[in-house]
């Protein structure tokens, strides 16, 4: 791997211990994946923020880098934390956990990382544009940025994204290269999809088929007529969760799709395939469910407006968490949505989400519209899951869902 | 006997091999306090990787696994070196942050549990010292 004189100086420790450790990580990855050189990045998104996932060792590592003089050199934002930073008491978070979580956030802040604490950086001011090289480590956001924005990121882990932030570089391999972005398989969708959970089901159906293919080709998807931002954020999250995908092309939707003709090898996805994928994510009884959550990935302001509309004058009968980025919550405050939502007994959980909060053992069954949330609720927290359309999730929280018979 | 591989992380260590034919997921697959492999059905299940030269084909699972290697190191329970057939991101980053010598692209089927070896991460070399 060829390094510039600046990069060699970083590796030799001439810019401090933290920068050296960061460059060691990047050089090792470049070696493993046969990168010829480093490429400058313009944006970083760091996962591995919740103390629930980092533990004492992770906090120690971050503190070492901070003490070692680590500073982000490019726009760097943060994934959700394990709690609402301003409102953790109301959500039943243990004070010991809260203290550790704040230490994690402060360590990042001292390294000039902007502590957005959201998994949708593209809704909160970290919006790379077409062709930009970036290093992101939230799998749903990587898939969204590569596919919907046409930016270029590998699926980084927390430490490798942080290493990119501290050096402003990443090794040029994988998604940074034109040839690696070419589609290798066509998926023909023969179904009319409307709701976020439909798109989550589609992500699971395609993702699981991708896993079975040799060499994990980039999918080219056609057959969908239109899709909202909210649909696509749900789809990207699900495809990344179930298929490990960094990138997809979708005819008529994503910016790079027009550069390619659909690969000859094609798999069709029927309406029944999508229904099957969704049913596989429902193993609980919605009437017995004790936890309802929307916002995986974090909710847009449009989604929060819809929740307020549905909750106006109602009372929730189940614990209901609405997870979003702090700035989105602040807009909801200004518009009066938050007051309506909180008057119903539903709770905002800004900065965090039901995937990374320490809620194992607190609940037994989750109702959500997110296929990704179902995966982590079942695996990490051992909850039963119930996947429903967005409006039905809200209606379940107030005991008015019409779908319970199903 | 020498095996020439590729340097992933620097440092030199001598010790006995514990070898696996299977991928290892450090997050969830290895107890971070004891170094015992806990993944059900794994060929090293119930055995400790602590203080050994850990030989396995490649890493798998969650990227949080890098921090598991760091936790093991802090608990004094880490392997003293890692040798892979093909190293990947999780193991490489874990070795770098935990400062564990690591070499890959070695024919690991020639390495057996109990052999005494020297792993030289600076040169990318594995040397057999005793059967």
Question: Per residue of chain B (131 residues), what is the pLDDT tens digit?
Answer: 999 999 999 999 999 999 999 999 898 899 999 999 998 889 999 999 999 999 999 998 778 889 999 999 999 999 999 999 999 999 999 999 999 999 999 999 999 999 999 999 999 999 999 99
The answer to whether B97 contacts A32, with C-beta atoms less than 8 Å apart, is no
The residue among A279, A310, A326 that closes a domain is A279
Last-in-domain residue among A178, A212, A240: A178
Residues of chain B numbered 14-33 and touching chain A (CB < 8 Å): 32
The minimum CA-CA distance between B131 and chain A, rounded to whole Å, is 30
Q: Which residues contact B2 (CB under 8 A, 6 or more apart)?
A: B125, B126, B127, B128
Domains annotated for chain B, with CATH where assigned, are 2-130 (3.50.30.10)
Contacts of A379 in chain B (CB under 8 A): none
Q: Are strands A43-46 and A75-78 parallel, antiparallel or unpaired?
A: parallel
Neighbours of A119 (CB within 10 A): 32
Read off the pLDDT of residues A71-100 as tens digits, 9 standing for 90 and up.
999 999 999 999 999 999 999 999 999 999
In a domain, residue A284? The reply is no
Angle at A143 between CA A139 and CA A355, to 5 degrees: 30
CB B62 within 8 A of CB B27: yes
* One domain, residues A160 and A267: no
CA distance A190 to A224: 8
Contacts of A56 in chain B (CB under 8 A): 71
Q: Give the ipTM of the model, two decimals please.
A: 0.84
Residues of A in contact with B93 (CB under 8 A): 25, 28-29, 157, 159-160
Residue B62 annotated in active site: yes
Q: Which helix (H) or strand (E) holds A218?
A: strand A218-222
Q: Do B71 and A55 touch (CB under 8 A)?
A: yes
Answer whether B8 sits within 8 Å of A54, measured CB to CB: no
Kindly list the residues from chain B whose CB atom is less than 8 angstroms away from the CB atom of residue A60.
Answer: 70, 74
Q: Chain A contacts of B68, Cβ < 8 Å?
A: 57
Question: A208 and A121, same structural domain?
Answer: no
Q: Among A286, A289, A308, which Cα is nearest to A299's?
A: A308
- B96 and A160 in contact by Cβ < 8 A? no
B64/A61 touch (CB, cutoff 8 Å), yes or no: no
Q: Which residues of A touch B70 (CB under 8 A)?
A: 57-58, 60-61
- For residues A241 and A301, state if they share a domain: no
Q: From the list A57, A137, A160, which residue is nearest B67 (CB)?
A: A57
CB atoms within 10 A of CB A89: 11
How close B76 gets to chain A, by Cα (Å)? 12
Residue A204 lies in a domain: yes
Question: B88 touching A, CB under 8 A?
Answer: yes
A61 in a domain, yes or no?
yes
Last residue of a domain, one of A134, A161, A178: A178
Which of A21, A31, A61 comes nearest B67 by C-beta?
Answer: A61
- Find the domain containing A361 and state its range: 291-398
Q: Of B20, B34, B50, B62, which is the active-site residue?
A: B62
Residue A285 lies inside a defined structural domain of this protein: no
Q: In what order do the strands lie in the sheet with B6-9?
A: B2-4, B125-130, B116-120, B12-19, B53-56, B81-84, B102-104, B6-9
Is residue A82 within 8 A of residue A172, CB to CB? The reply is: no
Is there a single domain that holds both residue A314 and residue A236?
Answer: no
**Closest-approach residue (CA) in chain B for A26:** B93
Residues in chain B closer than 8 A to A32 (CB atoms)? 8, 86-89, 92, 104
Residue B70 touches partner A, C-beta closer than 8 Å = yes
In a domain, A102, yes or no: yes
Q: What are the mean pLDDT values of chain A's consecutive 10-residue runs (406 residues total)? A: 97 97 96 96 96 90 96 98 95 95 98 98 97 96 98 95 98 97 98 97 96 90 94 97 94 97 97 98 93 98 98 98 97 98 98 92 97 91 95 96 61
The verdict on A337 and A266 lying in the same domain is: no
Q: What is the CATH number of the domain that holds A65?
A: 3.30.499.10
Q: Do A60 and B64 touch (CB under 8 A)?
A: no
Helices (H), chain B: 26-29, 65-74, 89-98
Query: Does A194 reside within a domain?
Result: yes
Domain match, A28 and A155 both = yes
**Residue A332 domain flag:** yes
User: Which of B11, B89, B90 has the most A C-beta neighbours within 10 Å, making it the best mutation to test the interface with A?
Assistant: B89
Which tokens sit at A338? 């938050």
- Which phi and psi angles does A218 have, rounded to 5°? -70, 130
Contact yes or no for B74 and A57 at CB 8 A: yes
Cα distance from A134 to chain B (closest Cα, Å)?
17
- On whether both A190 and A145 belong to a single domain, the answer is no
Q: Searching chain B, which residue's CA lies closest to the CA of residue A162? A: B93
| Token pair 């591989």 in the structure block, residue | B5
Same domain, A242 and A335: no
Tell me the C-alpha distance between A51 and A46, whole Å: 14
> Could you tell me if A384 and A246 lie in one domain?
no
Q: CA-CA distances (angstroms) from residue A276 to A26, A198, B42?
A: 41, 11, 31
- Closest CA relative to residue B6, chosen from B63, B115, B87, B74: B87
β-pairing, A347-350 vs A365-368, is: unpaired
Q: Are residues A29 and A173 in the same domain?
A: yes
For residues A40 and A156, membership in a common domain is answered with: yes
- pLDDT of A403: 65
Q: Residue A176 in contact with residue A131, Cβ under 8 Å?
A: no
Number of domains in chain A: 3
Q: Is residue A405 part of a domain?
A: no
> Are B93 and A48 in contact (CB < 8 Å)?
no
Tokens of A140: 């749903």
CA distances from A338 to A14, A286, A304 (A): 50, 25, 8
Threshold 0.90, pTM exceeds:
yes
**Chain A, chain B: beta-carbon pairs less than 8 Å apart:** 68
Task: Judge: A32–B8 Cβ closer than 8 Å, yes or no.
Answer: yes
Alpha helices by DSSP H, B18-129: 26-29, 65-74, 89-98
Are both A263 and A302 inside the same structural domain?
no
Asked if B122 reaches chain A (Cβ–Cβ under 8 Å), the answer is no
């Amino acid at each position: 791997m060829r390094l510039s004189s600046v990069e060699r100086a970083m590796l030799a420790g001439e810019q401090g211990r933290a920068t050296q450790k960061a460059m060691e990580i990047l050089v090792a990855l470049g070696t493993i994946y046969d990168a010829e050189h480093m490429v400058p990045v313009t944006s970083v998104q760091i996962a591995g923020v919740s103390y629930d996932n980092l533990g004492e060792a992770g906090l120690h590592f971050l503190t070492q880098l901070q003490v070692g003089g680590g500073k982000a050199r490019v726009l760097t934002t943060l994934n959700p934390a394990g709690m609402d930073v301003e409102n953790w008491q109301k959500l039943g978070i243990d004070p010991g956990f809260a203290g550790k979580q704040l230490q994690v956030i402060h360590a990042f802040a001292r390294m000039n990382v902007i502590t957005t604490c959201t998994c949708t950086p593209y809704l909160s001011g970290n919006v790379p544009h077409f062709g930009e090289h970036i290093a992101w480590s939230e799998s749903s956001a990587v898939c969204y940025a590569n596919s919907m924005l046409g930016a270029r990121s590998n699926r980084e882990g927390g430490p490798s994204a942080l290493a990119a932030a501290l050096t402003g570089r990443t090794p040029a391999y994988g998604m940074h290269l034109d040839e690696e972005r070419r589609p290798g398989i066509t998926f023909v969708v023969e179904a009319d999809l409307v709701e976020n959970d439909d798109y989550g089901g589609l992500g699971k159906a395609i993702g699981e088929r991708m896993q079975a293919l040799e060499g994990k080709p980039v999918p080219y998807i056609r057959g969908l007529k239109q899709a909202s931002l909210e649909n696509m954020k749900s789809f990207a999250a699900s495809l990344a969760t179930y298929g490990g995908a960094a990138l997809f092309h979708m005819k008529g939707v994503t910016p790079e799709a027009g550069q390619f003709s659909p690969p000859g090898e094609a798999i069709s996805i029927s309406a029944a395939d999508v229904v099957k994928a969704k049913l596989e994510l429902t193993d609980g009884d919605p009437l017995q469910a004790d936890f309802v959550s929307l916002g995986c990935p974090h909710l847009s302001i449009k989604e929060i407006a819809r929740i307020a509309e549905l909750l106006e004058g109602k009372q929730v009968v189940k614990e209901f968490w609405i997870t979003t980025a702090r700035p989105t919550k602040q807009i909801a405050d200004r518009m009066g949505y938050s007051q309506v939502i909180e008057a119903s007994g539903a709770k905002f959980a800004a900065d965090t989400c039901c995937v990374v909060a320490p809620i194992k053992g607190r609940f037994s069954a989750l109702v959500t519209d997110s296929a990704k949330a179902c995966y982590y609720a079942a695996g990490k927290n051992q909850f039963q899951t119930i996947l429903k359309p967005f409006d039905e999730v809200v209606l379940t929280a107030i005991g008015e869902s019409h779908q319970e018979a199903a | 006997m020498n095996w020439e591989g590729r340097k992933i992380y620097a440092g030199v260590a001598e010790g006995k091999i514990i070898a696996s034919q299977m991928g290892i997921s450090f997050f969830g697959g290895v107890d971070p306090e004891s170094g015992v492999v806990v993944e059900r059905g794994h060929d090293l299940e119930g055995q400790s990787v602590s203080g050994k030269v850990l030989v396995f084909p490649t890493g798998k699972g969650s990227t949080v696994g890098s921090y598991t290697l760091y936790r093991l190191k802090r608990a004094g329970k880490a392997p003293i070196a890692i040798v892979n057939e093909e190293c990947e991101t999780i193991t490489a980053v874990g070795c770098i942050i935990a400062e564990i010598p690591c070499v890959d692209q070695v024919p690991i089927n020639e390495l057996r549990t109990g052999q005494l070896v020297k792993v030289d991460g600076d040169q990318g070399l594995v040397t057999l010292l005793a059967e």
